[in-house]
Amino acid sequence: MPASCMRKFAGLLALAGACQGTALASQWQGVISGRNETIEIDRASVMPAAGGATAWSRIILDRAVKDPGGNYDAIHALNLYDCKSRRFTTQRRAYFNGDTQVREEEVARQRANAVAVGSIDERLFNVACRAVVAGKPALPFESTGKAGTETQTGERPVAMHADMRALAPDSAARPSLMPVADTTPVVPAEKPKLIVLPPIDKAAAAQAAAAVGQRPPAVPATTGGAPGPAGKMAAPSAPASGAVESPADKRRRELHYANSGPPRAVRKKASAEPSAAVESQKPAMRDIPWSYEGDGGPANWGKLRADYATCATGKRQSPIDIREGIRVNLEPIKFEYVRTQFRIVDTGHAVQVNVGAGLGLRVMGKRFELSHLEFRRPAEERVNGRSYDMSVHLVHRSDDGQIAVVAVLLEKGAEHPLIQTLWDNLPLERDVEVAPEAAIDLNVLLPENRAYWTYMGSLTTPPCTEGVLWMVLKQPVQVAADQVAIFSRVFRSNARPVQAANGRLVKESR
């Protein structure tokens, strides 16, 4: 399928036939069913991917949930399953009210999650991975209490990350879901086979020994062997031509030829340096999730996964210490911000605020759509070595996929009303999105003076993608000390260290 079509219809795989000229019928298969919600996976959407498979699944609720974009009663997501390492990554989410899509979003912080044994994730994982392995049937579906939830054929193959149940309010208070019976036939393990030695050719063995002059003298029947060099027992000799070999001597000679082999190599003393074999036994770094401290910290990001390598090898990484910018007449940033409802979530790495559609900015002849906001403590950006208490990154994306980030520096001072509104709605649990009825105006988050520094950099979190346009507003915005303290209760520190500038050009407004 062309890349353009994939981008256009990534959230609506049922419409992918528009790019291929054919219809794509979904094949919904139930995985978990209960009185209040049902989880299904679309077998028709399972497609092979590097190391595993991608698949859509969905959670269908028994009631509508309020949302700034419109009420929804089903949550859909697209997952990438790594069948070898038993991990999955949620790539996209969509929200539907019946057959009507309310909104769709790409997961901004895509993290690989371990598939826990016995979890809902494992049942979805099994269906996806078995579908791409020959001869492995997918899980069957048996309804366990909700009428009309047998395998369906719908117009929109959609899905969910199993933990997305948390996105549905009051999900914890509802009765537990009942797993669908897994009747996949169990293939018994194959019993290990015994090693079968070839029969001994006694005549050939004796002839080979004689050919190299190693046939020892005859051995008395009572000893089983003659002393050899250094006190070792020599091999029992073959009988002389015409001599009659006793049964005991024959048995000893057969045992010798059956059990003897080439001389064992002398073991070398262990080297003081660890061998490659020992190094290979160390835990793989890729099994460690990225974080801001410990083994998964910024110093090791480039080692955690192959697609994180740019974090270590990139030459245009962010953040930087902004110094020696050239003063020019930079064009003003045209912000197109209006009042909007919002959704706030603790992603485990930052407090992220998702906003409604239609907000954005224009600069350098291009329009960038606002995706979300992220808060950092302390500010990742430095200016001539100076650090700030916090910063907020407004992340935008253009139609051609380029990312533009506006950074607003925050310093202690007066209380900020918009930030207080956000803190009032902080979620109690990680990865649980809160959608309050209050609306916000992001214009009040911007300083009066919109002068800025700009340079080309990268994302400040894995995979550290480069080619990001950075615009750092020069005038800081005040935030109360209590508001900084509240954020520190959630994140002690979530800032990437300053990266090498590598001679990059930095421009600033005159």
The model's pLDDT over 146-191, given as tens digits with 9 standing for 90+, comes to 333 333 333 333 334 444 544 554 444 444 444 544 444 444 444 4
13 band by pLDDT with thresholds 50, 70 and 90: very low
Q: Which two tokens stand for residue 190?
A: 């194959």
Label residue 231 left, alpha or beta by phi (over 0 means left) and psi (-120 to 50 means alpha).
Answer: left
Residue spans of the domains in the chain: they are 3-179, 294-509
Q: Which two tokens stand for residue 509?
A: 């407004």
Contact 486, 325 (CB under 8 A): no
The closest of 155, 198, 129, 185 to 28, measured between CA atoms, is 155
Collapsed DSSP state (helix, strand, coil) of residue 210:
helix
Residue 348 has pLDDT above 90, yes or no: yes
Alpha-helical runs (H) found in 286-351: 301-304, 310-313
Collapsed DSSP state (helix, strand, coil) of residue 432:
coil
> For the whole model, what pTM was predicted?
0.49
The model's pLDDT over 237-271, given as tens digits with 9 standing for 90+, comes to 555 545 566 777 766 665 555 554 444 555 555 44
What would you report as the CA-atom Rg of the chain, rounded to the nearest whole angstrom? 34
**349 in catalytic set:** yes
Strands 466-473 and 452-458: antiparallel
Number of H helices, E strands in the chain: 10, 24
279 or 506: whose pLDDT is higher? Answer: 506
The closest of 114, 116, 94, 119 to 105, measured between CA atoms, is 94
Read off the amino acid at residue 486: I
Contact 159, 27 (CB under 8 A): no
Catalytic residue (one of 76, 349, 372, 396): 349
> Which helix or strand (DSSP H or E) is residue 472 part of?
strand 466-473
Collect all residues with Cβ–Cβ distance below 8 Å to 426 and sequence separation of at least 6: 344, 346, 351, 434, 486, 490
Residue 502 has pLDDT above 70, yes or no: yes
Dmax over CA atoms of the chain, in Å, equals: 115
* CA atoms of 71 and 329, how far apart (whole Å): 46
CATH for 294-509 (3.10.200.10, 1.10.10.60, 3.40.50.620, 3.40.1080.10): 3.10.200.10
Strands 403-412 and 466-473: parallel
Q: What is the mean pLDDT of the chain?
A: 76
The model's pLDDT over 50-109, given as tens digits with 9 standing for 90+, comes to 778 898 888 888 778 777 667 888 888 888 888 888 888 888 888 888 888 888 887 766
